[in-house]
A and B are shown apart, each in its own frame.
Chain A
């Protein structure tokens, strides 16, 4: 029963978006909440039913498609609006509807005082529809539609408070930077169509191993172009710059779009197109290298940021890097596993941060927080769980997923990759606990007037926090290492990746339970060390960080200013394009195009002025000209 309703999963949020969008400003708030939350809630219920039905099918036939209508039919080109549900899509669908639903509920509390309440929920529902279209699409074109639509919603929601110049700027930046990635994605789709004559997933993926040789240039080109799209959407080097600025949007938006779902679209896309990456070892290597570099790079910046949401943003970039490391060593299921657990704990972190910001009437500076543990007991407890999860402490969700990626990196990528991952994990534990300690522990640095308003958030906000906290604790157990039969997520996803098993990169080291346990212990110790150092720095001896920053002034300034990447892009990319455009405008548009248009007008005007001389207004002049004309005509006819 559930599977026949698959189309309703994306459609219901679309209906909600249209209702709230068209009727914005006329509906009472309760009604807006009911439509906004209800549509996603129903969608979640149907998604769960679909998932149940999918589980009931035998593993090898777990791919169900549902065509709605033919979208484009032009010559050889054929594209349908067709949804498909397979294990990979199911995981994504559950994450999007599940976490999405919780964040919708949370938003009713967080955005309760917002004037444009209907507009907010309309955008949020539209996003849910777009994201579901992205993950359930059965061909590249429909996926691209969802891909662009989530980008649009991201733009709309980052710039939700468009009256603030910073928010409007950030929205524009996100849109433009994503455009670069989308350009690559679109070229990749073109190349796929040229190569295979189709954009259908089933056709393309089954034909790819037959038509393309391993390491062929076409496979590499497709894989790299698609990956360019992924670096844009998933904020990887060198296109990550939009994500920190995206924190200008409302906090639930940061949780839903810029942490849990949209930014993971790139990881999903790489996993979905895994066949191209396995057919092209160089492209696979690029994915792993970009992933690990981003993970380390963003983590270092996260160490010294002072805005609570920006720390989380850099942490998101870093964690996305880990997911790409998983994909880049050919362990796509591990990447998806981390994607899922990350969605839980990072959404929780953002919502917790939102709860803190809400309590402090909009304050985001870590140095104006501190000692909030007593005032916000529920927020504190859930935030601590999420922090432990992201730091990778046993038995929280992040421990399992991060260690799986690190283990796969060791196994198939080599010790160097593993080492870099562990260093990143240390930094993650450090900056996350720095954030935690600065917010909830130590002396309160909250300004006096804000102190009076301090309050725990309403139930509509703490409820989702608790549910996400539970998921952050138990989420990792879907994939328990070593134990026989413990790798349930791997088994579930296995049919999706089965077509490429023989293409997977060879392991550098032999898989052994002993090694796995050893690596786990090491990374756990490293995480605990990170926590301990953070404790030393920010609780035991609060003066230590300042002294250290003084001592390592150069390095501190480099990292604090985010390696000046924004400034470098500004002067080497933005300004040349801008100046070039100004030149083009002056030299070509104003001179040539406007010149041609205005020139034609001026010539006609001049000609008309000459012709006007004939219009004397004296009837007899006209009569004379008429007569002369008749004379000439008759003369010509007579003398011919």
Chain B
């Protein structure tokens, strides 16, 4: 194992750190753009975790999953940004607190 360099735990720690930073960003920031970026951070934390496990087990499954996640994330960003632009045009704001028409 020694020849393989950095142990998997380190990768996992970094991934968990990244994920937590992203989560906190989603929960506390008001700007929709920042929230999007935080979500990207969370997704990439998961990707890092996938790749690390893939390397540890010597299997390609994790690598393949990462491709899927990246593709879906790209699509999500495209749709999400389009919605964001539409909201901004209508309401002149990107703050999620001010978009609460669905309140019961």
**Which A residues are within 8 Å of any B CB, using their own CB?**
612, 614-620, 623-624, 627
Task: Determine whether the beta carbon of A617 is less than 8 Å from that of B100.
Answer: yes
Chain A residue with minimal CB distance to B29? A620
Identify 26 residue pairs between A and B in the complex whose beta-carbon atoms are under 8 Å apart, listed by A's number: A612-B104, A614-B104, A615-B102, A615-B103, A615-B104, A616-B100, A616-B103, A617-B100, A617-B101, A617-B102, A617-B103, A617-B104, A618-B97, A618-B100, A618-B103, A619-B96, A619-B99, A619-B100, A620-B26, A620-B27, A620-B28, A620-B96, A620-B97, A623-B27, A624-B27, A627-B27
Chain A residues whose C-beta falls within 8 Å of the C-beta of B26 in the assembled complex: 620, 623
Q: How far is the CB of A136 from chain B (nearest CB, A)?
A: 70
Q: Which 10 A-B pairs have the closest CB atoms?
A: A617-B103, A617-B100, A615-B104, A612-B104, A619-B96, A617-B102, A624-B27, A623-B26, A618-B100, A620-B27
A607 CB to nearest chain B CB (Å)? 13
> Nearest-CB distance from A612 to chain B (Å)?
4
B94 at the interface (CB under 8 A from A): no
Separation of A615 and B102 alpha carbons in the complex (Å): 8
A contact residues around B84 at 8 Å (CB): none
Q: Which residues of B lie under 8 Å from residue A620 when comparing CB positions?
A: 26-28, 96-97
Task: Chain B residues near A627: list those with CB within 8 A.
Answer: 23, 27
Nearest residue, chain B, Cβ from A611: B104
**In the complex, residue of chain A having the shortest beta-carbon distance to the beta carbon of B101:** A617
A618:B104 contact, CB within 8 angstroms = no
Q: Which residue of A lies closest to B24 (CB)?
A: A627
A-B contact sample (19 more), CB < 8 A, given A615-B104, A616-B103, A620-B28:
A612-B104, A614-B104, A615-B102, A615-B103, A617-B100, A617-B102, A617-B103, A618-B96, A618-B97, A618-B100, A618-B103, A619-B96, A619-B99, A619-B100, A620-B26, A620-B27, A620-B96, A620-B97, A627-B23
Q: Tell me how many residue pairs across A and B have CB atoms closer than 8 Å.
A: 29
Alpha-carbon distance between A617 and B99 when the two chains are bound, in angstroms: 8
CB neighbours (8 Å) of A618 from chain B are 96-97, 100, 103
**Which partner residue on chain A sits nearest B23 by CB separation?**
A627
CA gap between A616 and B104 in the complex, in Å? 7
Quick one: CB contact mask for B44-73 with A, threshold 8 Å, 1 for yes? 000000000000000000000000000000
User: Roughly how many angstroms separate A616 CA and B97 CA in the complex, as a whole number?
Assistant: 10
**Which residues 87-103 of B have a CB within 8 angstroms of A?**
96-97, 99-103
B28: nearest chain-A partner, CB-CB:
A620
Nearest CB of chain A from residue B31's CB, rounded to whole Å: 11
A614 vs chain B, min Cβ distance (A)? 8
Shortest CB-to-CB span from A627 to chain B, Å, is 6
B104 CB to closest chain A CB (Å) equals 3
Specify which chain A residues have a CB less than 8 angstroms from the CB of B102 in the assembled complex.
Answer: 615, 617
A627 to B23, CA, bound (A): 9
Q: In whole Å, how far is B39's beta carbon from the nearest beta carbon of chain A?
A: 10
A571 to chain B, nearest CB (A): 59
Complex Cα distance, B27 from A616, in Å, reads: 15
Residue of B nearest to A630 (CB): B23
Please provide the chain B residues from 20 to 43 with a CB less than 8 Å away from any CB of chain A in the complex. Answer: 23, 26-28
What is the chain A residue whose CB lies nearest that of B26?
Answer: A623
In the complex, how many angstroms separate the beta carbon of A613 from the nearest chain B beta carbon? 8
A617 vs B103: C-alpha distance in the bound complex, in angstroms?
Answer: 4
Q: Which residues of B contact A624 (CB under 8 A)?
A: 27
The smallest C-beta distance from B53 to any residue of chain A, in angstroms, reads 17
Closest to A609 in B: B104
Could you say which residues of chain B place their CB within 8 Å of the CB of A617? 100-104
B7 CB to closest chain A CB, in angstroms? Answer: 21
Inter-chain contacts of B23 with A (CB < 8 A): 627
Contacting residues, chain A, for B104 (C-beta < 8 A): 612, 614-615, 617
B32 nearest in chain A by CB position: A619
Determine the distance from Cα of A612 to Cα of B96 in the docked complex, in whole angstroms: 20
Q: Measured between alpha carbons, how far is A624 from B27 in the docked complex, in Å? A: 6
- Of chain B, the residue at the smallest CB distance from A619 is B96
Cα-based distance from A615 to B103 in the complex (angstroms): 6
| Distance in Å: Cβ of B42 to nearest Cβ of chain A | 11
Q: How far is the CA of A614 from the CA of B99 in the complex (A)?
A: 17
Closest chain B CB from A120 CB (angstroms): 62
Cα distance A624–B102 when bound, in Å? 17
On chain B, the residues within 8 Å of A623 by CB distance are 26-27
A624 and B101 CA atoms in complex are apart in Å by 19
| B21 smallest CB distance to A (angstroms) | 14
- In the complex, which residue of chain A has the Cβ closest to the Cβ of B99? A619
Highest count of chain B CB atoms <10 Å: which of A615, A619, A627: A619
Chain A residues, CB < 8 A from B100: 616-619
Nearest CB of chain B from residue A629's CB, rounded to whole Å: 13
CA distance A616 to B103 in the complex (A): 5
Report the nearest A residue to B104, measured CB to CB: A615
Instruction: Give min CB distance, A375 to chain B, whole Å.
Output: 85
Closest to B30 in A: A620
Give the distance to chain A from B56, nearest Cβ to Cβ, in Å: 20
User: In the complex, A618→B103 CA distance in Å?
Assistant: 8
What is the bound-complex CA distance between A618 and B99, given in angstroms? Answer: 8
Q: How far is the CB of B45 from chain A (nearest CB, A)?
A: 14
A615-B26 Cα distance, complex, nearest whole Å: 19
Q: Tell me which residues across on chain A come within 8 A of B101, comparing CB atoms.
A: 617
What's the nearest-Cβ distance from chain A to residue B30, in Å? Answer: 8
Chain A's nearest CB lies how many Å from the CB of B84?
12
Scoring B26, B97, B104 by chain A CB atoms within 10 A of each residue's CB, the highest score goes to B104
Distance, CA A256 to CA B81, complexed state (A): 87
CB distance from A79 to the nearest CB of B (A): 60
Task: A616 to B28: give the CA distance in the assembly, Å.
Answer: 16
Q: Which residues of A contact B97 (CB under 8 A)?
A: 618, 620
Complex contacts, A614 vs chain B, CB 8 Å: 104
Closest beta carbon of chain B to A377's beta carbon, Å: 89
Q: How far is the CB of B15 from chain A (nearest CB, A)?
A: 15
Name, among A612, A616, A617, A624, the residue most crowded by chain B CB atoms within 10 Å (CB to CB).
A617
Q: Report how far A620 CA is from B31 CA in the complex, Å.
A: 11
